[in-house]
Amino acid sequence: MSENDKGLRGVVAVDSGITSIDGERGILRYRGYDVGELVENCCFEEVCYLLLRGDLPNPEELASFKEELLIARTIPTEVEAVVDDSAHYARPMEAMRSMCSALSFSDPDKASNEYDANLRKATRLISQVPTVMARYRRRYYGLEPVYPDPELDYAANFLWMLRGELPSEEDAKVLDSVSIMHADHEMNASTFAARVIAATCTDMHSAIVGAIAALKGPLHGGANEWVMATLKRIGSEEKVDAWVDDMLDRGRKIPGFGHAIYKVTDPRAIILKEIGRKAFDRANPNEPNWFAMTERMERRVFERKGLVPNVDLYSASVLYYLGFPIDLLTALFAANRVVGWSAHVIEQHLDNRIIRPTINYTGPPARELPVSQERA
């Protein structure tokens, strides 16, 4: 098979009406709406509704959807036990994988893949995953869990449960915007994994557990942690160019750059860069200027290799400025992406055929089995 065929580049796997990307022009749309306009004008809950149901909600629909999300924030006690236990020995993405699986144990719709049941499960998962993630992190630090606050929307409540104090409106808006940009991204690796799993007619929780496992990898969602760890290792703006040169001279990859689909800068990176510029104004003055370091890295990587940023380059420091520790960055991405994975599972179950590609066989030709005494 050719290098191009490797990784299924350009292969159309499914019909989908959820998200479209124009990689030549750097355009990302959810159900036809430009992602930048959604970030400017909508909240994460509206975007969830749009992705799951196909259209933006009217005010009554939004109010009722928010109510459903609120009710779903509490997690069953047996999941609390899994969370508390895993906080002692599991890394955040390992814990996410297990906790999402545990969320299916007592889900009342677990046996059904019907449209309405899938919508209910998706709504529950969107709300439950932040609750389990925040509880996990507080237990990890030996702190008491902070329970969801019904007065707060998704982003503010997420920060409240993690920090144990009310976030500023600005911080909640930043997380809301990042969450919208993380919500879906067409046929990326984890979404493909979710659809392959869903296409066996198994349940939504199983598909999302598989998607979390795929997102964890450093070439996919794990790249945001890799970016932030890299910035910390480099340590200061003056050292960025030499570090980039050294990596590229040794043929190594730089996290946060390159994309299988975009030929120009990822539109989410453009928005995140502006958010990062403002976030730095509120950053800790005793820490290096992560934003300036990222900008410098962007410039140097482009000069040397012509590569442009993807979503993870600027999301890393933006989330770090919000107080997310490095090892929680991919888990936050996963929590936000639950909506996109769910929308794709729903779509897959509505028009399903098992996904079963084929291979270009490169093993030995047919041969005789040696008689037993000749075997090693």
Ligand X SMILES: CC(C)(COP(=O)(O)OP(=O)(O)OC[C@H]1O[C@@H](n2cnc3c(N)ncnc32)[C@H](O)[C@@H]1OP(=O)(O)O)[C@@H](O)C(=O)NCCC(=O)NCCS
CA distance 78 to 367: 53
Residue 51 CB, nearest approach to ligand X (Å): 19
Residue in 60, 38, 64, 63 with CA at minimum distance from that of residue 51: 38
Amino acid at 323: G
Q: Select the residue interacting with ligand X from 154, 160, 243, 257 (CB under 6 A).
A: 257
Q: Which of these ranges, 106-114, 202-210, 216-224, 355-363, lies near ligand X under the rule CB under 6 A?
A: 216-224
Residue 315 CB, nearest approach to ligand X (Å): 10
Residue 216 CB, nearest approach to ligand X (Å): 12
Is residue 310 a contact residue for ligand X (CB under 6 A)?
Answer: yes
Active-site residue, selected from the candidate residues 182, 185, 205, 259 = 259
CA distance 319 to 325: 8
Is the Cβ of residue 134 or residue 311 nearer to ligand X in the bound state? 311
Is residue 219 a contact residue for ligand X (CB under 6 A)?
Answer: yes
At 311, is the secondary structure helix, strand, or coil? helix
Is residue 253 a contact residue for ligand X (CB under 6 A)?
Answer: yes
Is the Cβ of residue 283 or residue 307 nearer to ligand X in the bound state? 307
DSSP string, 144-156: PP----TTS-HHH
Active-site residue, selected from the candidate residues 107, 109, 171, 312 = 312
Q: Which of these ranges, 56-64, 72-80, 118-126, 254-262, lies near ligand X under the rule CB under 6 A?
A: 254-262
- Nearest residue to ligand X, scored by beta-carbon proximity: 258
Amino acid at 348: Q
Is residue 254 a contact residue for ligand X (CB under 6 A)?
Answer: yes
Active site residue 312: yes
Residue 262 CB, nearest approach to ligand X (Å): 9
Residue 286 has a CB neighbour count (10 Å cut-off) of 5
Is the Cβ of residue 133 or residue 269 nearer to ligand X in the bound state? 269
CA distance 221 to 175: 17
Q: Select the residue interacting with ligand X from 46, 171, 237, 312 (CB under 6 A).
A: 312
Is residue 307 a contact residue for ligand X (CB under 6 A)?
Answer: yes
Contacts 24+ apart (CB under 8 A), 237-243: 237/288, 237/289, 237/292, 237/293, 237/296, 240/293, 240/296, 240/297, 240/300, 241/296, 241/300
Is the Cβ of residue 198 or residue 313 nearer to ligand X in the bound state? 313
Is the Cβ of residue 250 or residue 353 nearer to ligand X in the bound state? 250
Q: Select the residue interacting with ligand X from 23, 26, 76, 258 (CB under 6 A).
A: 258
Is residue 311 a contact residue for ligand X (CB under 6 A)?
Answer: yes
Instruction: Report yes or no: 124 and 130 within 8 Å, Cβ to Cβ.
Output: no
Residue 93 CB, nearest approach to ligand X (Å): 15
Q: Select the residue interacting with ligand X from 36, 145, 167, 256 (CB under 6 A).
A: 256
Cβ-based burial of 367 (10 A; exposed 0-12, middle 13-18, buried ≥19): exposed
Instruction: Report yes or no: 262 and 206 within 8 Å, Cβ to Cβ.
Output: no
Is residue 259 a contact residue for ligand X (CB under 6 A)?
Answer: yes
User: Per-residue string for binding with ligand X, 223-252, x by CB under 6 A?
Assistant: x-----------------------------
Q: Buried b / exposed e across 174-211, counting CB within 10 Å, b at 16+?
A: bbbbbbbbbbbbbbbbbbbbbbbbbbeeebbbbbbbbb
Strand partners, 19: 30
Q: Select the residue interacting with ligand X from 255, 267, 276, 340 (CB under 6 A).
A: 255
At 91, is the secondary structure helix, strand, or coil? coil
**Catalytic machinery residues:** 259, 312
Q: Which residues bind ligand X (CB under 6 A)?
A: 7, 219-220, 223, 253-260, 305, 307, 310-312
